[in-house]
Amino acid sequence: MITIVDYGMGNIKSVENAFNFLGIETHSTSDPNELEKSSKLIIPGVGSFKKAMDNLSTLGIKPILNEQVIVNQKPILGICLGMQLMAELGEEDGITSGLGWIKGQVKKLRLNNTNLKAPHIGFNGTYYNQNNSMMFNGLNEITDFYYVHSYSIINTDSEIAHTIYGSKIVAAIEKNNIWGCQFHPEKSQTNGLSILKNFANL
Partner 1 sequence: MVKKRLIFTYLFDGENCMLSRNFRLQKVGTVDWIKKHYSFDSIAFSIDELILINVSRNEDKINQFCDVITNLSRFFLMPIAAGGNVRSFEDAKAILRSGADKIILNTPLFNDRELVKKLINSFGSQCIVASIDYLKQNGDTNIYINNGKDKLDLNIYDGIRFVLKQNVGEIYLTSIEKDGTGMGFDIDVLKNAVTQSSVPIIASGGAGDFYHIADCFTKTGTSAVSTANLFNFLGNGLYETRKYLTDNGLNMAKWTY
Nearest to partner 1 of 9, 35 (CB atom): 9
Q: Is 181 a catalytic residue?
A: no
Nearest to partner 1 of 11, 29 (CB atom): 11
Residue 100: CB minimum distance to partner 1, A: 23
Chosen residue from 86, 178, 186, 198 binding partner 1 by CB under 8 A = 186
Q: Is the dihedral of CA 52, 55, 57, 60 positive or negative?
A: negative
Residue 93: CB minimum distance to partner 1, A: 10
Q: Cα(127)–Cα(5) distance, rounded to whole angstroms?
A: 28
159 DSSP assignment: E
Binding flags for partner 1, 75-94, as an x/- string (CB under 8 A): --------------------
Residue 72 binds partner 1 (CB under 8 A): no
Strand-pair partners of 169: 163
Q: Is-contact 49 82, C-beta < 8 A?
A: no
SS3 state at 11:
coil
Residue 149 binds partner 1 (CB under 8 A): yes
As to burial, measured by CB atoms within 10 angstroms (0-12 exposed, 13-18 middle, 19+ buried), residue 60 is: exposed
Q: Cα(53)–Cα(96) distance, rounded to whole angstroms?
A: 8
Q: Which residues are near partner 1 by CB under 8 A?
A: 11, 13-14, 17-18, 20-21, 46-48, 116-125, 144, 146-150, 164-165, 184, 186-193
List, by residue number, the catalytic residues. 80, 184, 186
